[in-house]
A and B are shown apart, each in its own frame.
Chain A
Amino acid sequence: MSACQTETDNLPSVGSVNDADIGKIVQQIAHMLPSQGPITVFVHHNTLHAYEHLPFSEAVIKAADDYDCHPYLREEDYRVALQSGRIAPIDLERELHEVLEENGDDLVGFLGTRHDLWMSMIEHPLHEGSEGEIRWFIEETDALYRFRREVPSSQSQESVFHIKQWLTDRAQSQSGDDCPIGSALSLLLDRFDGSQISEWAHEHATAFSLHLLWETCRYGSSLIAPATSNASCAIDTNSADDLVNDVLIRFTAAFLDQGFAHLGLPHRGRGFWQSFCDLYSNAAAPQPWLQDVARRLRDFEAEQTSPEQSIATSLRNLAVDIDSADSFLLEELLKLRGWAGMVWQMETNAEWTIHPAPPGTLVDFTAVRLVLLEAARRHIAKPAVKQALPPTPCRKLNRAFLVFQIAQVRGWSAVDLLQLTRREWGSLLAEIEAFDSRMRRRIYHQAYERHYRVEALKAIAKSSLESSRSQRTPQEPAYQVACCIDDREESFRRHLEEVAPDCETFGIAGFFGVAMYYRGASEAHFRPLCPVNIKPVHYITEEPAYSEVAASRRRSLARKAFGHTAHRVVRGSRSFVGGVLTGLLGSVATLPLVMRVLFPRLAARVSNSFGGIVADRHTQLRLESGDEESSQCRGYTVDEMTAIVGGFLDATGMTGRLSPLIIVFGHGSSSLNNPHAAAYDCGACGGGKGGPNARAFARMANDARVRARLATLGINISDETSFVGGYHNTCNDSVSYFDLDLLPPRRRSLLELAFADIEVARRRDAHERCRRFESASLAFSPEAALRHVEGRAEDLSQVRSECGHATNTICVVGRREWTRGLFLDRRAFLTSYDSTIDDSDCSILAKLLAAVIPVCAGINLEYYFSRVDNRGYGCGTKLPHNVTSMLGVMDGAGSDLRTGLPWQMVEIHEPMRILFVIETKPESMLAIMNENPTIDGLVRGEWVQLSLIDPNTGAIALFRNGKFECFEQSPADLPEAASSAAWYAGNRNHLGFAIVNSTNAIKAKRVSA
Chain B
Amino acid sequence: MTLESAAWWMGIVVIAAPAVLVTAMATTTLLAITISESAIARLTQTCVVSGFLASLFEFAYMLLSGNRHIEIKLGEWVSVVDEHHMNPFHFELQFVFDRLSVPFVLLSFVLIGTIGAFAQRYLHRERGYSRFFMLYALFLLGMVVATLAGTVETLFLGWEFVGLSSALLVAFFQNRSAPVRNGQRVWSVYRIADAAFLVAAIALHHNVGAGDFSVLMGTGPWPYGQASLPSEVAIPIGLLLLIAVAGKSALLPFCEWLPRAMEGPTPSSAVFYGALSVHLGTYLLLRVSPLIQLSWVLGFVVVSLGLSTALYAARVARVQTDVKSALAFASLTQVGLITAEIGLGWNYFALAHMIGHASLRALQLLRASSLLDDQFSLENAVGGHLLHGEEPQRATPALLSGYRFAINRGSLDAWLDRLVVLPFLRVFQYCDDFECHVTSLLSHTNAPQDWSGVLPAAKSDTEAA
**Which residues of A are at the interface with B, using a C-beta cutoff of 8 A?**
39-40, 239, 242-243, 250-251, 253-254, 257-268, 278-280, 283, 285-287, 354, 383-388, 520, 522-525, 556, 559-560, 562-564, 566-567, 570-571, 573-576, 579-580, 582-590, 592-594, 596-598, 672-675, 677, 774-775, 795-800, 877-886, 890-895, 907
B431 at the interface (CB under 8 A from A): no
- Given the complex of chains A and B, what is the CA–CA distance between A246 and B267 in angstroms? 25
- Are the C-beta atoms of A799 and B426 separated by less than 8 Å? no
Given contacts A267-B395, A797-B122, contact A675 B359 (CB under 8 A): no
B322 at the interface (CB under 8 A from A): yes
Cβ of A278: which chain B residues have Cβ within 8 Å of it? 395, 400
Given contacts A279-B400, A586-B360, A882-B322, contact A563 B381 (CB under 8 A): yes
B388 at the interface (CB under 8 A from A): yes
- Given the complex of chains A and B, what is the CA–CA distance between A879 and B115 in angstroms? 14
Cβ of A775: which chain B residues have Cβ within 8 Å of it? 121, 124
- Are the C-beta atoms of B337 and A580 separated by less than 8 Å? yes
Q: Can you add 10 more A-B contacts, CB < 8 Å, to A576-B333, A886-B372? A: A262-B389, A263-B390, A525-B379, A575-B330, A585-B360, A586-B360, A587-B352, A799-B124, A883-B323, A891-B173
Which residue in chain A gives the minimum CB-CB distance to B349?
A584
From B89-97, B191-199, B289-297, B401-409, give the one contacting chain A.
B401-409
- Are the C-beta atoms of A566 and B266 separated by less than 8 Å? no
CB < 8 Å: which of B311, B381, B407, B453 contacts A250? B407
CB distance from A930 to the nearest CB of B (A): 43
CB distance from B439 to the nearest CB of A (A): 17
- Are the C-beta atoms of A263 and B363 separated by less than 8 Å? no
Q: Can you list, as one digit per residue, whether each of B243-277 has a CB less than 8 Å from chain A (1) or not (0)?
A: 00000000000000001111111110000000000
- Given the complex of chains A and B, what is the CA–CA distance between A589 and B263 in angstroms? 24
CB < 8 Å: which of A40, A383, A675 contacts B462? A383
CB < 8 Å: which of A285, A567, A576, A881 contacts B386? A567
B325 at the interface (CB under 8 A from A): yes
- Are the C-beta atoms of A40 and B382 separated by less than 8 Å? no
- Are the C-beta atoms of B321 and A885 separated by less than 8 Å? yes
- Are the C-beta atoms of A268 and B178 separated by less than 8 Å? no
Cβ of B125: which chain A residues have Cβ within 8 Å of it? 774, 907
- Are the C-beta atoms of B369 and A675 separated by less than 8 Å? yes
Given contacts A251-B407, A286-B414, A673-B369, contact A523 B380 (CB under 8 A): yes
CB < 8 Å: which of A239, A254, A260 contacts B407? A254
Cβ of A280: which chain B residues have Cβ within 8 Å of it? 404
Which residues of B295-338 are within 8 A (CB) of A?
310-311, 314, 317-327, 329-330, 333-334, 337
- Given the complex of chains A and B, what is the CA–CA distance between A603 and B324 in angstroms? 25
Which residues of B339-362 are within 8 A (CB) of A?
352-353, 355-362
Which residue in chain A gives the minimum CB-CB distance to B262?
A893
CB distance from B409 to the nearest CB of A (A): 9
- Are the C-beta atoms of B173 and A573 separated by less than 8 Å? no
The contact sample of 17 A-B pairs, CB cut-off 8 A, is: A254-B321, A261-B321, A262-B389, A263-B403, A280-B404, A384-B426, A586-B358, A597-B114, A675-B372, A774-B124, A800-B124, A879-B265, A880-B263, A883-B372, A884-B321, A886-B375, A893-B178
Q: Can you list, as one digit per residue, whether each of B169-185 has a CB less than 8 Å from chain A (1) or not (0)?
A: 00011001011001000
Q: Can you list, as one digit per residue, whether each of B445-458 has a CB less than 8 Å from chain A (1) or not (0)?
A: 00000101100001
Cβ of B408: which chain A residues have Cβ within 8 Å of it? 250, 283, 285
- Given the complex of chains A and B, what is the CA–CA distance between A854 and B352 in angstroms? 59
Q: Can you list, as one digit per residue, whether each of B418-430 has a CB less than 8 Å from chain A (1) or not (0)?
A: 1100100110010
CB < 8 Å: which of B333, B378, B383 contacts A567? B378
B83 at the interface (CB under 8 A from A): no
CB < 8 Å: which of A251, A285, A388 contacts B452? A388
Given contacts A384-B462, A583-B357, A598-B117, contact A262 B262 (CB under 8 A): no
- Given the complex of chains A and B, what is the CA–CA distance between A135 and B322 in angstroms? 47
- Are the C-beta atoms of A892 and B173 separated by less than 8 Å? yes
Which residue in chain B gives the minimum CB-CB distance to A268?
B391
Which residue in chain B gives the minimum CB-CB distance to A287?
B414
CB distance from B427 to the nearest CB of A (A): 11
CB < 8 Å: which of A258, A385, A880 contacts B173? A880
- Are the C-beta atoms of A587 and B370 separated by less than 8 Å? no
- Are the C-beta atoms of A593 and B114 separated by less than 8 Å? yes
Cβ of B381: which chain A residues have Cβ within 8 Å of it? 522, 559-560, 562-563, 566
- Are the C-beta atoms of A266 and B314 separated by less than 8 Å? no
Given contacts A39-B372, A387-B452, contact A285 B353 (CB under 8 A): no
Which of under 10, 10 to 19, 20 to 34, or 35 or more describes the interface residues of B? Answer: 35 or more
CB distance from A37 to the nearest CB of B (A): 13
Give the one of B392, B426, B465 with max A CB within 10 A: B465
- Given the complex of chains A and B, what is the CA–CA distance between A389 and B199 in angstroms? 38
Cβ of A267: which chain B residues have Cβ within 8 Å of it? 395, 400
Closest A-B pairs by Cβ, 10 of them: A563-B381, A586-B360, A586-B356, A388-B453, A266-B395, A892-B263, A574-B330, A583-B357, A879-B265, A884-B322
- Given the complex of chains A and B, what is the CA–CA distance between A574 and B118 in angstroms? 24
- Are the C-beta atoms of B321 and A598 separated by less than 8 Å? no
CB < 8 Å: which of A387, A564, A892 contacts B382? A564
CB distance from B322 to the nearest CB of A (A): 4
- Are the C-beta atoms of A261 and B400 separated by less than 8 Å? no
- Given the complex of chains A and B, what is the CA–CA distance between A354 and B323 in angstroms? 19
Which residue in chain B gives the minimum CB-CB distance to A792?
B121
Given contacts A385-B429, A774-B124, A795-B121, contact A576 B363 (CB under 8 A): no
CB distance from A527 to the nearest CB of B (A): 10
- Given the complex of chains A and B, what is the CA–CA distance between A597 and B116 in angstroms? 10
CB distance from B197 to the nearest CB of A (A): 26
Given contacts A388-B459, A774-B124, A797-B118, contact A893 B407 (CB under 8 A): no
- Given the complex of chains A and B, what is the CA–CA distance between A842 and B176 in angstroms? 53
Which residue in chain B gives the minimum CB-CB distance to A388?
B453
- Given the complex of chains A and B, what is the CA–CA distance between A388 and B386 in angstroms? 51
CB < 8 Å: which of B318, B429, B459 contacts A261? B318
- Given the complex of chains A and B, what is the CA–CA distance between A580 and B345 in angstroms? 17
- Are the C-beta atoms of B367 and A673 separated by less than 8 Å? yes
Cβ of A576: which chain B residues have Cβ within 8 Å of it? 310-311, 314, 333, 337
Cβ of A566: which chain B residues have Cβ within 8 Å of it? 378, 381
Cβ of B123: which chain A residues have Cβ within 8 Å of it? 879
CB < 8 Å: which of B352, B406, B422 contacts A384? B422
Given contacts A524-B384, A881-B369, contact A590 B110 (CB under 8 A): yes
Q: Can you list, as one digit per residue, whether each of B111-153 has a CB less than 8 Å from chain A (1) or not (0)?
A: 0001101111111111000000000000000000000000000
Cβ of B23: which chain A residues have Cβ within 8 Å of it? none
CB distance from A42 to the nearest CB of B (A): 11
Cβ of A40: which chain B residues have Cβ within 8 Å of it? 372, 376
Cβ of A239: which chain B residues have Cβ within 8 Å of it? 463
B387 at the interface (CB under 8 A from A): yes
Given contacts A287-B411, A594-B114, A597-B118, contact A880 B264 (CB under 8 A): yes
B56 at the interface (CB under 8 A from A): no
B366 at the interface (CB under 8 A from A): yes
CB distance from A642 to the nearest CB of B (A): 33
- Are the C-beta atoms of B386 and A266 separated by less than 8 Å? no
Which residue in chain A gives the minimum CB-CB distance to B317?
A574
- Are the C-beta atoms of A895 and B178 separated by less than 8 Å? yes
- Are the C-beta atoms of A266 and B359 separated by less than 8 Å? no
- Are the C-beta atoms of B366 and A593 separated by less than 8 Å? yes
- Are the C-beta atoms of A388 and B114 separated by less than 8 Å? no
Given contacts A388-B450, A892-B178, contact A879 B122 (CB under 8 A): yes
Given contacts A386-B429, A587-B359, contact A883 B117 (CB under 8 A): no
Which residue in chain A gives the minimum CB-CB distance to B410?
A286
Q: Can you list, as one digit per residue, whether each of B70-94 has a CB less than 8 Å from chain A (1) or not (0)?
A: 0000000000000000000000000
- Are the C-beta atoms of B369 and A883 separated by less than 8 Å? yes
Which residue in chain A gives the minimum CB-CB distance to B411?
A286
Cβ of B358: which chain A residues have Cβ within 8 Å of it? 586
- Are the C-beta atoms of B388 and A262 separated by less than 8 Å? yes
- Given the complex of chains A and B, what is the CA–CA distance between A877 and B128 in angstroms? 12
Given contacts A799-B122, A892-B179, contact A583 B360 (CB under 8 A): yes
